[in-house]
């Protein structure tokens, strides 16, 4: 068994002036600090190309915290800012890495643990790893965390993983999928494996289909070049949606240990069946309105014509014993009517209705796991409508609802990165994605793209503020299934 990791006392943040650092990483770290959850001696060293001194970096961080972190989570901000320091670096050359290493080592005990967070363009991954090696920052006491995008297909993802593997073994590589930091996503494991109720019926004998929806109301959000190269399949399905699917479909792991959990997830990802041409729908939004606000079309936002999909719906299958014949319908898109992430598990009808002769109609049970914006778990059950039933019995679906914030009053709603950063600092890998998972994810996504290329598939248009092209509705309706809305 591997030795337990030591809590890091230094965190080196590449891309420290970037969007992710300002919106998520610095606010998450500050919020953790406010709750006394960071190691007392943790120092955070930021690096990026901009020529800033420590004071200017702290000033930038202060502005980011004031913009992105709610007032009530900013307690002790001054102390947090004191943990920060900064070293400018051009990561494309080796030159500045020695100075960076000197800054990182200031006042550090020999061999104390260092966590590095790489939130830069993937083109800088290779040069950064080379620079870190050159400056002696890849020793046994160093762990490396990578932010997406990790490649644009299996081949480019392998290149990145190979480059990182020259300096770090897999036990010291932490690949982020921020969906795994979301509370309700982790709760999926609790729901499945801390209750006796679901597991016996969590299979094709009792489950008719599963739906996973990740709807967004936002459009390009200024990420024009990145998004137009990526598209919805690579941006959302390859990572977040397949991780959700893996958590729903995996076999019970023996423990919450990183190897046990990831072993089970990768088996699911490898069992994904290659999709047929008629099992995917792609779309691109045109101008429309969301919550009464007019919004432009994708091509207008982009400033040119494009064949990039901003919506994708897929009918997937997990080819194993448990899930034989159970479709997994996935859909995600930009400029949909609602921001919603949810998993719907649709159970089968009871095999025989004792109420049929009394005129009652039955609906099968359905479990809806709401991940955002509301954290909700809702199980629909059939119940008798109160009355004397003189004209026959009436049954109706009633929800058994658990609103997580109500069930756990007084608990913070945390940013997904809070949990992930804390785990990185502690060296705990369960909620990070292992290389074989990423590769299985790309393998499936590449096979879908190959089908699209072969068929010359181009996205159908949909009006912003609707649930994608009408063929996305047809994708499920022809199986007699309606998307949950």
Q: Identify the CA nearest to 243 among candidates 324, 341, 117.
A: 341
Smallest separation (angstroms) from ligand BG6 to the CB of 334: 7
Cβ distance to ligand BG6 smaller for residue 41 or 123? 123
Cβ distance to ligand BG6 smaller for residue 241 or 272? 241
Q: Identify the CA nearest to 434 among candidates 246, 155, 216, 191.
A: 246
CA 29 to CA 77: how far, in whole Å?
A: 10
CA 464 to CA 447: how far, in whole Å?
A: 28
Q: Beta 173-175 vs 142-146: how paired, if at all? A: parallel
Residues 415 to 474: which contact ligand BG6 by CB under 6 A?
none
Smallest separation (angstroms) from ligand BG6 to the CB of 99: 33
Cβ distance to ligand BG6 smaller for residue 177 or 446? 177
Q: What are phi and psi of 74, to 5 degrees?
A: -105, 15
Q: How many helices (H) and strands (E) does the chain have?
A: 16, 17
Residues 313 to 352: which contact ligand BG6 by CB under 6 A?
341
Nearest-CB residue for ligand BG6: 235
Smallest separation (angstroms) from ligand BG6 to the CB of 149: 8
Cβ distance to ligand BG6 smaller for residue 229 or 477? 229
Is 240 labeled as catalytic in the residue annotation? Answer: yes
Q: What are phi and psi of 429, to 5 degrees?
A: -95, -5
Interface mask (CB under 6 A) for ligand BG6, residues 161-200, using x and -? Answer: ----------------------------------------
CA 10 to CA 425: how far, in whole Å?
A: 8
Smallest separation (angstroms) from ligand BG6 to the CB of 341: 6
Smallest separation (angstroms) from ligand BG6 to the CB of 301: 13
Smallest separation (angstroms) from ligand BG6 to the CB of 378: 20
Residues 359 to 378: which contact ligand BG6 by CB under 6 A?
none
Residue by residue, what is the 3-state secondary structure of 385-400? CCCCCCCCCCEEEEEE
Q: Beta 460-463 vs 340-347: how paired, if at all? A: unpaired
Interface mask (CB under 6 A) for ligand BG6, residues 17-56, using x and -? Answer: ----------------------------------------
- Count how many Cα atoms sit within 13 Å of the Cα of residue 343 in the half-sphere of its side chain: 22
**Active-site annotation holder among 55, 134, 209, 240:** 240
The answer to the question of residue 235 lying near ligand BG6 (CB under 6 A) is yes
CA 163 to CA 22: how far, in whole Å?
A: 27
Q: Which residues are catalytic?
A: 240
**Interface residues toward ligand BG6, by CB under 6 A:** 216, 235, 341
């Amino acid at each position: 068994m591997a030795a337990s990791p030591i809590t890091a006392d230094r965190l080196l943040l590449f891309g420290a002036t970037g969007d992710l650092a300002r919106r998520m990483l610095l606010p998450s770290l500050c919020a953790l600090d406010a709750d006394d959850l960071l190691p007392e001696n943790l120092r955070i060293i930021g690096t990026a190309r901009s020529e800033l001194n420590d004071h200017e970096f702290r000033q930038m961080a202060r502005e980011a915290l004031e913009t992105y972190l709610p007032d009530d989570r900013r307690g002790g901000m001054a102390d947090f800012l004191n943990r920060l320091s900064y070293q400018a670096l051009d990561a494309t050359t080796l030159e500045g890495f020695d100075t960076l290493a000197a800054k990182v080592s200031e006042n550090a005990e020999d061999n104390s643990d260092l966590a590095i967070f790489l939130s830069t363009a993937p083109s800088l991954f290779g040069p950064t790893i080379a620079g870190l090696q050159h400056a002696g920052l890849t020793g046994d006491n160093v762990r490396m965390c990578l932010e997406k995008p990790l490649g644009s297909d299996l081949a480019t993802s392998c290149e990145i993983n190979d480059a990182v593997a020259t300096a770090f073994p897999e036990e010291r590589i932490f690949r982020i999928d921020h969906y795994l930091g979301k509370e309700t996503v982790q709760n999926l494991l609790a729901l499945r494996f801390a209750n006796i109720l679901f597991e016996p019926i969590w299979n094709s004998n009792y489950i008719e289909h599963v739906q996973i929806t990740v709807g967004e109301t936002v459009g390009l959000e200024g990420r024009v070049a990145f998004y137009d190269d990526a598209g919805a399949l690579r941006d959302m399905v390859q990572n977040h949606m397949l991780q959700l699917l893996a958590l729903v479909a995996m076999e019970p792991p023996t423990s919450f240990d990183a190897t046990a959990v990831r072993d089970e997830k990768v088996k699911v990802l490898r069992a994904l069946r290659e999709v047929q041409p008629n099992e995917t729908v792609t779309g691109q939004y045109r101008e429309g309105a969301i919550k009464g606000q007019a919004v432009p079309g994708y091509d207008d936002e982009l400033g040119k014509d494009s064949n990039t999909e901003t919506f994708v719906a897929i009918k997937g299958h997990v080819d194993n014993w448990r899930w034989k014949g159970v479709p997994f319908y996935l859909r995600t898109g930009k400029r949909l009517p609602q921001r919603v992430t949810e998993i719907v598990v649709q159970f089968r009808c009871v095999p025989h209705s004792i109420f049929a002769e009394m005129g009652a109609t039955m609906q099968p049970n359905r479990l809806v796991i709401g991940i955002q914006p509301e954290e909700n778990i809702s199980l629909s059950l059939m119940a008798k409508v109160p009355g004397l039933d003189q004209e026959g019995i009436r049954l109706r679906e009633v929800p058994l609802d658990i609103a997580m914030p109500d069930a756990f009053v007084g608990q913070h709603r945390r940013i997904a990165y809070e949990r992930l950063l804390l785990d990185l600092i502690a060296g705990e890998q369960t909620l990070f994605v292992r290389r074989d998972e990423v590769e299985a994810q790309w393998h499936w996504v590449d096979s879908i793209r190959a089908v699209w290329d072969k068929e010359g598939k181009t996205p159908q248009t949909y009006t912003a503020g609707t649930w994608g092209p009408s063929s996305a509705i047809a994708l499920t309706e022809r199986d007699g299934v309606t998307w949950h809305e």
